[in-house]
Every structure is written in structure tokens, then in C-alpha cells.
């Protein structure tokens, strides 16, 4: 069961995913896709670690999120994947196709018949200005397509605005 959480930067997506996942018993998994490439990212990663505390087992995977699906065993009760935005950028900068990798993830997810709650976080990047460079435009288009894919297969979709979740599917 996929619960897809979209929204702008710092809109409360991760907090909502974590708080929702805490309603389930342990064993809880948090899949972190961020890489601490600078001070700002280091602070964001530390903030997310504080938010989830000791309530989750953390799996760090900045590139191959599909490989982690095979590690999800029957004793795991809930998973938070945070986030597709950072992950797709990581994959794109490795000269790989994030859209192809997202399809691979969803195909495997469906083949494995995952029936546990899987909270997936992503940013809505299509509501701003048109980026001024080719790579940024390419990234925006790819992430937009990935968000569409996840929204189509998700059981529930939430759009976060100022910390308020709006269920849109």
C-alpha cells in the first residue's frame, strides 16, 4: 500500500510521513536518500534524524532504492521512503535515468505484493518558474513524471501545504 506525500520544500512532508508511520507498531523502516554534500544538507539530515528519533531503523540508499525492497521482511510493519526528490537528483547526476529506475521500483513493488504501508515523500516542483538551464528543466520534467507514476499507483495521495495534509486521492 503506497501513501504518496507531495508538497513544496519545508511543507511538512517528512514530519507527516513520520507521524503517520508512528501509528504502526515496530518494526519501522526509514529509507534515507540524502547525501550530506554541504552544510545545509547536513543540517537537514540531522533535523530528520531528530524527528524520527529511535523509532525507526534507518536504511541509507542514495541510488538503488529498488534493491531495498528485497530486504522488506514480514516483521516490518511500515516503511517511509524520504525522498524521491533527492533520490532522483542523485540518480540523474550519476548519468542514469531516474524515470527508468522509478518504474523498476514500482514494478518490483507490485511483483512482491507489498501490503504494508509504504509512505513515499516527494516534492512538487512544477508549480514554480521555468528553470533557466537545461539540467534543471530536465530534472523538473523527470521528477514530474516520477510523481505522476507514483500518484497513479498510490492508494492515497496527500498534498502538503504549510504542514497541513490535503488528501487528494
Give CA separation, 91 vs 28, 64, 67, 109, 144, in Å.
25, 8, 14, 19, 15
Closest CA to 93 of 13, 10, 7, 33: 33
- 113 given a catalytic annotation: no
Burial class of residue 14 in the structure, from the number of CB atoms within 10 Å of its CB (0-12 exposed, 13-18 middle, 19+ buried): buried
Query: Which one of 3, 15, 28, 48 is the catalytic residue?
Result: 48
Burial class from Cβ neighbours inside 10 Å (0-12, 13-18, 19+) for residue 141 reads middle
- Rounded CA separation 158/4 (Å): 6
Of 159, 150, 163, residue with least CA distance to 2: 150
Active site members: 48
Amino acid at each position: 500500500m503506497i501513501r504518496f506525500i507531495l508538497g513544496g520544500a519545508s511543507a511538512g512532508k517528512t514530519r507527516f510521513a513520520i507521524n503517520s508511520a508512528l501509528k504502526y507498531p515496530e518494526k519501522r523502516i526509514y529509507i534515507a536518500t540524502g547525501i550530506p554534500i554541504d552544510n545545509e544538507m547536513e543540517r537537514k539530515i540531522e533535523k530528520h534524524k531528530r524527528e524520527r528519533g529511535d523509532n525507526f531503523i534507518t536504511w541509507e540508499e542514495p541510488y538503488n532504492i529498488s534493491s531495498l525492497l528485497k530486504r522488506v521482511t514480514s516483521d516490518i510493519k511500515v516503511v517511509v521512503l524520504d525522498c524521491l526528490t533527492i533520490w532522483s537528483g542523485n540518480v540523474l547526476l550519476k548519468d542514469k535515468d531516474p524515470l527508468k529506475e522509478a518504474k523498476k521500483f514500482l514494478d518490483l513493488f507490485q511483483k512482491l505484493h507489498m501490503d504494508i504501508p509504504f509512505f513515499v515523500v516527494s516534492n512538487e516542483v512544477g508549480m514554480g518558474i521555468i528553470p533557466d538551464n537545461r539540467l534543471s528543466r530536465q530534472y523538473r520534467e523527470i521528477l514530474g513524471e516520477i510523481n505522476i507514476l507514483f500518484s497513479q499507483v498510490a492508494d492515497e495521495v496527500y498534498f502538503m501545504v504549510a504542514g497541513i495534509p490535503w488528501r487528494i486521492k
